[in-house]
Chains A and B, each alone.
Chain A
Amino acid sequence: MDSIKIKEYKKGDSSLNLVTGHLKAVGTGVKYFVKPQRITLKYPEESLSLPTGYRGMIRLYKDVCIGCTLCAMVCPADAMKMATDQGKKFPTINYGRCVFCGFCVDICPVDALKETGVHDAAFSSRRELFFSPDKFNQDFDQPPVELLVKKVKAVIDEEKGIKYVPDTD
């Protein structure tokens, strides 16, 4: 164990410190007012592309799945359940329960499940949240990228914290 240092801060500012403290605080405020450091994403116009490996919504490749039920067993939220479809077992998913832990994707021995990276799907009823194997077998609709949405990606910047740069690929 290294040396123990118990620090004390200086209490009771002199009135000079008080004045400089106030001035510095207001000065910092003014500094940011003049040169703001904004990290707001203007969402509907700019859409964030997510890093590879983002655990978004999941899709199933029905032809690959071997019906081993491991995904249903590992699912912590009981979102994934097995259903029989034409004599074969396939997973179904209920997005009302899924917590996007990605365990099912990680455990599938044949990689029949895939994380899509879509995270902003909308549903109009709770029933729609349930995906039968056939529905589960499809890609998600991507938002109309060209029209309105500008795809950006977040990069960390030494000055601004987070910067959004247009995502080229």
Chain B
Amino acid sequence: MMNLLFDLRYYVLYPSFFNSVIYPGLIFTAILLLTTIWFERKAAARVQMRVGPYYASKRLGGFMQLIADAVKFVFSEVIIPEGVNPTLFALAPVLAVAMSFIPLSIIPVSVIPPSGSVFSIYFRDFYDPNIGMGVLTGLFVQYNMLLILAIESMYPVFVIFVAWVTNNRFAIVGAVRESYLSVSYDVLLIMATLSMSLEYHTLDLAKIAQSGIPGILANPVAAIVFFIAMLMGSARFPFEIAEAETELVLGAYTEYSGFLFVLTMAGSYVGNLVYALVFTDMFLWGWYPLSGFPGALLTGLKASIVVFFSVFLRAVYGRYRIDQALRGGWKYLLPLTFVSLFIGLVVGYIWIP
């Protein structure tokens, strides 16, 4: 019996499983997703002279409203428009969401000390030679910064796919906007990441976080650029351009209803979380100075705050026009990334071992 429990614990806590399914993977993300949407609605309501969700559970501040909405969406009819390929139509949002989840299992959320943590038994399997410690992540790759961004940059392709299968004019205009945007924010993300990797002499997120020097101090320019690119990349205000309710009727997702609609919405929130986790590791110290499970919680907490702040901006901004966003990206932020590269080189040389 004890053995069985131990085995179970061994497998449940095994980082490849734990990270991709429990934390920060599926389960945690699903909960955080609901919380984020709840927070978004509540925060916007507070700013906007309203109360927001309330009656579904007064004591929880209306949190249950999200569950109720989700249940309602699940049971509402999925309307498949005529003239589309039903298989692809149903598959597209599923693929998009699945895609957005993948990076979660590569992001390091904490380090594993050789002993003293529940994860210490996996120390050897997830050993990171750069920092001399284990890394709590689904799959440890030394070049995880690049891998995460590479996978995440696939997401817009799926948005375009979604728009293409729905064969709706508004959706296609939305997809065109998304494709323009994705090119510009991807460049910014990669440049900001690159300057950080130059600064910390590594492509390993774990090393940056574990170095004990918060990236936001070492390279604030990169942090700003990364944050703005994150807003663009996850369709947050003021860059909610590809969805644009009043212009494009939700862009690529126009034709979706019911459960499929929930999936399409979930994708951008998950994307936001991925970027926020990377942002936390890269600029906000990640789990440092904790380690093990508490460290992972700290990372999650910081990332949630980043996500919350980015959804809060809904209450402050409208949306830019696509050309303004592109101009901002290419004309103002791209030169800034060169500055951040330079800062990265200089500060990395002087300060960071």
Q: Give A contacts to B, CB under 8 Å.
A: 25-26, 28-29, 32-33, 36-40, 42, 161
Contacts and interface: CB of A to CB of B under 8 A. Distances in A.
Contacts of A36: 45-47, 49
A131 B50 CA distance: 38
29 contacts: A25-B316, A28-B316, A29-B47, A29-B312, A29-B313, A29-B315, A29-B316, A32-B46, A32-B47, A32-B48, A33-B43, A33-B46, A33-B47, A33-B312, A33-B315, A36-B45, A36-B46, A36-B47, A36-B49, A37-B49, A38-B49, A38-B50, A38-B51, A39-B49, A40-B49, A40-B50, A40-B51, A42-B51, A42-B54
Nearest to B50: A40
A159 to B, nearest CB: 13
A138 B18 CA distance: 70
Interface of B: 43, 45-51, 54, 312-313, 315-317
B229 to A, nearest CB: 16
Interface centre among A33, A39, A161 (most CB of B within 10 A): A33
Contacts of B312: 29, 33
Contact of B316 (A26, A38, A39, A40): A26
Contacts, number: 35
B45 to A, nearest CB: 8
Contacts of B51: 38, 40, 42
Given A33-B312, A42-B54, 15 more contacts: A25-B316, A28-B316, A29-B47, A29-B312, A29-B315, A32-B46, A32-B47, A32-B315, A33-B46, A33-B47, A37-B49, A38-B50, A38-B51, A40-B51, A161-B49
B331 to A, nearest CB: 12
Contacts of A161: 49
A36 B61 CA distance: 15
A29 B43 CA distance: 9
A53 B152 CA distance: 63
A28 B317 CA distance: 11
A37 to B, nearest CB: 6
Nearest to A15: B332
B141 to A, nearest CB: 36
A25 B47 contact: no
A26 B43 CA distance: 13
A32 B316 CA distance: 10
Contacts of B317: 25
A130 B328 CA distance: 62
B253 to A, nearest CB: 26
